[in-house]
Amino acid sequence: MKELITKNLEVKDKSNYELHKKVEPYESTFLSRPIYLRLWSSFFVILPIFVQAPWVRLEPISALCFTFVILLGVFVLYKKQSNKWFIVSSLLLGVSGSWLGGCLFWGWLSPFPILHIPVEAVVLPLALIGIGTNWKIASSFYISSLFGTAVTDITIFLIGIMDEWREVISADSETAPLILQKTSENLLQIKSLSIIVFVALLLWFISKEIFDSATTNTINGKALLVSSYVIQTTLIVDGMFIVLAILQPTFSGLV
């Protein structure tokens, strides 16, 4: 009997070992490849722009409360104790910080652009602490998103359309298109276009340098890749909005 039990245990252990061999490579490679990190990072950059922006204007309180839904998703995925889902949960944690700051600003403080970055940086201290933990990817996503937002705001200030921001936010539906048309004309000036091109090249260079220094086989490397992808996606989205602001001002991101 003792020998039979021992034999059965050995067979069971062998089966578990074979199953572990099949599952572990999948978990260690899924979302570890640059293409998957790029897709998820870009998705979480675009999601707040096209989902949060209209939502927070209509229902700022419910949009703000959705932050806790995102955090619940982080907790659920983290409890799975799986490498593939931990990366997603870490990205979601970074998204929750950006989502919270965006809701606070665009829901109640949008007429005051000078408060944009301070409010968006509401969880920056936690993100800086997270760099020294296993949640580096979350910190990298949030800090890179904040960096992209700050560069965008600085660019808006340098090209001289910060005043239009305040005017559009407080304008009625009849006045806003006129202000946006003026903004479009300002963007077509040589000075404005030069600043935009310079900032775009600078961001692309920074993202490329970060990408070249990253690897996919460490948490630090993945965090750097996420940072690079976030900056690249932010640059592409900003470029789309600039083109839209020139071709069709009434549908630009200033409204």
How far is Cα 106 from Cα 165, in angstroms, rounded to an integer?
12
Is it the case that residue 81 has pLDDT exceeding 90? no
For 187-208, the pLDDT digits (tens) are 888 999 999 999 999 999 999 9
Residue 26 counted as domain residue: no
- Percent of the chain whose predicted confidence (pLDDT) is above 90: 53
Q: Which of 18-22, 54-58, 116-120, 159-163 has the lowest mean pLDDT?
A: 18-22
Q: Is 81 left (phi over 0), alpha (psi -120 to 50) or beta?
A: left
Residue 8 counted as domain residue: no
Provide CB contacts within 8 A for 215, sequence distance 6+.
Answer: 221
For 205-237, the pLDDT digits (tens) are 999 999 999 877 788 899 999 999 999 999 999
Residue 114 counted as domain residue: yes
Residue 70 counted as domain residue: yes
pLDDT of residue 9: 37
Averaged pLDDT score across all residues of the chain: 83
Task: Give me the domain span that covers residue 167.
Answer: 33-251
pLDDT confidence bin for 168, thresholds 50/70/90: confident
Residue 5 counted as domain residue: no
pLDDT of residue 64: 97
pLDDT of residue 178: 76
Domain total in the chain: 1
Is it the case that residue 17 has pLDDT exceeding 70? no
| Residue 1, helix vs strand vs coil | coil
pLDDT of residue 21: 38
Residue 51 counted as domain residue: yes
Residue 216 counted as domain residue: yes
For 112-150, the pLDDT digits (tens) are 999 999 999 999 999 999 999 999 999 999 999 999 999
Is it the case that residue 87 has pLDDT exceeding 80? yes
- Percent of the chain whose predicted confidence (pLDDT) is above 70: 83
Q: Are 52 and 102 in contact (CB under 8 A)?
A: yes
Q: Are 102 and 122 in contact (CB under 8 A)?
A: no
Q: Provide the residue type at 237 as one letter.
A: V
Burial label for 69, CB within 10 Å (0-12, 13-18, 19+), is: exposed
Residue 87 counted as domain residue: yes
For 20-39, the pLDDT digits (tens) are 333 334 344 445 577 888 88
